[in-house]
Amino acid sequence: MTRELQPDIIVNDRLGLPGDVITPEEYQPTATIEVDGQAVPWEACQTLNGSWGYNRDKGPDKSVDLLVRMLVDGVSKNGNLLLNVGPTGRGNFDPKAMEVLEGLGDWMQLHSRSIYGAGSSRYVAPTDVRYTQRANRLYAHIFARPLQYRHSPALTTSVGGQPAGTLTLKLPIHRPHVSIPVVEIFLTD
């Protein structure tokens, strides 16, 4: 009946009906989700604290760092993050939840280009790095901090005038004050 009344509506699969969006609950898929060999839209349905509603005795289990990692990981696999946060009985968000959400918002203010309008990349990221891509911009999200150099041997296109082959990024000695640092790479191919 819903599709009869609103033919262009987008429905997820949580109702047990065929949906337009697949929504794995409380886990991150390990790869882009495919049905019959075709990538399909999906979003990881996560809670901030393991509860689908407000629980006064339970604060946020997920840190800003973890939420950013989940968001980036999903986008790197052509997915989305659907985050459930329950308000209190008075309609407010718990101060601890607000702190975590503000941290996520602060990260997004700096790095939204690597998320909005971006998706997976054809390039294979090194261990502990997630690539997202938007047009000729490749974003390397650095999950684990190497000593100073990050090698990307699978990047076989020319980057910013450098010849194709292994790309080596020289990172600053001091880690930036963000949950997940992002390097924007301009692709020329």
Reduce the secondary structure of 49-91 to three states and give it as a string: CCCCCCCCCCCCCCCHHHHHHHHHHHHCCCEEEEEECCCCCCC
User: What tokens were used for 86?
Assistant: 């329950």
pLDDT of residue 165: 66
pLDDT of residue 61: 82
Q: Which residue has the higher pLDDT, 4 or 17?
A: 4
Do 114 and 131 meet the contact criterion of CB atoms below 8 Å apart?
no
Structure tokens at 128: 């502990």
Q: Which of the 8 DSSP states describes residue 14? A: G
Sketch the domain layout of the chain as residue ranges.
2-114, 129-186
Q: What share of the chain in percent tops pLDDT 70?
A: 91
Closest CA to 72 of 135, 22, 7, 133: 133
What is the pTM for the complete model shown?
A: 0.87
Tell me the percentage of the chain whose pLDDT exceeds 90.
Answer: 47
CA distance 23 to 41: 9
Residue 162: its pLDDT value, please? 62
User: What confidence tens digit (pLDDT) does each residue in 98-117 have?
Assistant: 999 999 999 999 999 999 99
